[in-house]
Amino acid sequence: MPNVTGSAALGYWPAFWALGAPYRGNYWNWPGTGEFDIMENVNGINSVWGVLHCGVSPGGPCNETTGIGTSRTCPGASCQSAFHTYRFEWDRSISPNQLRWYVDGQQFHSVSQAQFDAGTWNAMTGHQGYFLLLNVAMGGAFPNALAGQTPTAATVSGRPMLVDYVAVWQSGSGTLPTSTPTPPPGGGVDARSTIQAERYQAQAGTAVETTTDTGGGQNVSQIGNGDWLRFDGVNFGTAAATQFKARVASGAAGGVSGLVQVRLDSPTAAPIGDFALGNTGGWQSWRTVPANIAGVTGTHTVYVTFTSGQPADFVNLNWITFGN
């Protein structure tokens, strides 16, 4: 986002968004043809907004002109001071379909097809597709709603939005990719945030699948003895983290269990904490399990490793986090 904050940023409105293709040449069909706001920000605030626009305006199923949206602070460094990865996912492999918004691999918003009548959903999904836009506006309804009339005399012009890359992926068969995801430019993640397991920087022995856990998305699966996940640039800050939590599920057979372990900077380092897990009632029967760890400060590469006395897979992992 433009690197400008405070009164100097009043009126800045950077966005990464997509509009339904039928909007071209017929500007009266908004919001019915759909708008996915993948990243919006106003007035230099350290927050990213994700919003869906649809239906009719004003009002309608998407509460126009506001839309269905939410916001959160950027993980780690502020939105303005560092690169972040903003991602939108339209999951058509499940029914009802689900739309999801992410920042640095951390999901912060989702909308389900089940929230809409068939006519509304078909109007925004049954056309030729969407085209992408990246722009910085100055002033307008959104920044004005939060700060009054903008820009102001204090606003500083000329601060650009810097874009490292834009990419579009599609899974043609409904099979989810199992390759290593590209780490966010600049790297780094807040240890106390929810770190999605599938956003590892490297792994051994695992796969990725759709999850039915709260919030949807994906989980790491097919985890057994000797497997591991690596997360780079995990920032614990100056206050020591003393607890590790993991969202796990297991459909392992009777007598099959194992340890979920946390190690720092090497997959062979001594574990700083672990917990044991057996069958939880099924591979999508999720529970959050805490474990005490030796106090950690600073920034580290975190390895989540898995150890078992049996060769069979024993755990699925949705997310991890650290705390006090």
- Model pLDDT for residues 158-198, shown as the tens digit of each residue: 999 999 889 888 775 444 433 344 443 334 689 999 999 99
pLDDT of residue 303: 96
Q: How far apart are CA 132 and CA 233, in angstroms?
A: 30
- Report pLDDT for 324: 87
Q: What is the pLDDT of residue 174?
A: 41
**In the chain, where do the E strands start and end?**
12-20, 35-40, 48-53, 68-72, 86-91, 98-103, 106-112, 130-138, 189-190, 195-196, 202-204, 207-210, 218-223, 228-235, 241-250, 258-264, 273-277, 282-296, 299-307, 315-323
Distance CA 232, CA 187 (A): 7
Q: What is the pLDDT of residue 181?
A: 41
1: Cβ contacts below 8 Å, ≥ 6 apart: 14, 41, 79, 80, 161
- Residue 128, pLDDT score: 81
Tens-digit pLDDT profile for residues 192-219: 999 999 989 899 999 999 999 988 889 9
pLDDT of 94 reads 87
**What is the arithmetic mean of pLDDT over 297-301?**
94
Percent of the chain residues topping a pLDDT of 70: 94
Mean pLDDT of the chain: 91
In this chain, the answer to whether the domains covering 6-147 and 189-323 adopt an identical fold is: yes
pLDDT of amino acid 93: 85
**11-39 residue pLDDT tens:** 999 999 999 999 988 889 999 999 999 99
Tokens of 178: 């199992």
Separation in Å, CA 16 to CA 20, 87, 143, 227: 14, 10, 16, 37
Residue among 197, 183, 182 nearest 228 (CA): 197
The reply to whether CATH 1.20.1440.120 applies to domain 189-323 is no
User: Is pLDDT of 111 > 90?
Assistant: yes
The CA-based diameter of the chain, rounded to the nearest angstrom, is 70
Tell me which fold the domain 6-147 belongs to: Jelly Rolls (2.60.120)
Are 285 and 251 in contact by the 8 Å Cβ rule? The answer is: yes
Distance between CA atoms of 54 and 133, rounded to whole angstroms?
A: 17
Query: Mapping DSSP to helix (H, G, I), strand (E, B) and coil, where does residue 311 land?
Result: coil
Q: How is residue 174 written in tokens?
A: 């409904």
Q: Which of 293, 301, 284, 298 is nearest to 322 (CA)?
A: 293
- Inter-residue contact 308 to 256 (CB < 8 Å): yes
Q: What is the pLDDT of residue 178?
A: 39
- Reported confidence tier of residue 40, pLDDT bands at 50, 70, 90: very high
Residues 267-290: what's their mean pLDDT?
Answer: 95
> Which structure tokens are listed for 208?
């990725």
What is the rounded average pLDDT of the residues 211-228?
93
Closest CA to 53 of 44, 41, 42, 65: 65
What is the predicted pLDDT for the residue at 270?
A: 95
Burial label, 170 (beta-carbon count in 10 A; 0-12, 13-18, 19+): exposed
Q: Domains of the chain: which residue ranges?
A: 6-147, 189-323
Answer whether residue 129 shows pLDDT above 60. yes
Query: Quick check: 139 pLDDT over 70?
Result: yes
User: Tokens standing for 4?
Assistant: 């400008």
Q: 128-143: buried (b, 16+ CB within 10 Å) or exposed (e) per residue?
A: eebeeeeeeeebeebb
pTM over 0.75: no
φ, ψ of residue 226 in degrees (nearest 5): 90, -10
What local confidence, expressed as pLDDT, does residue 24 receive? 87
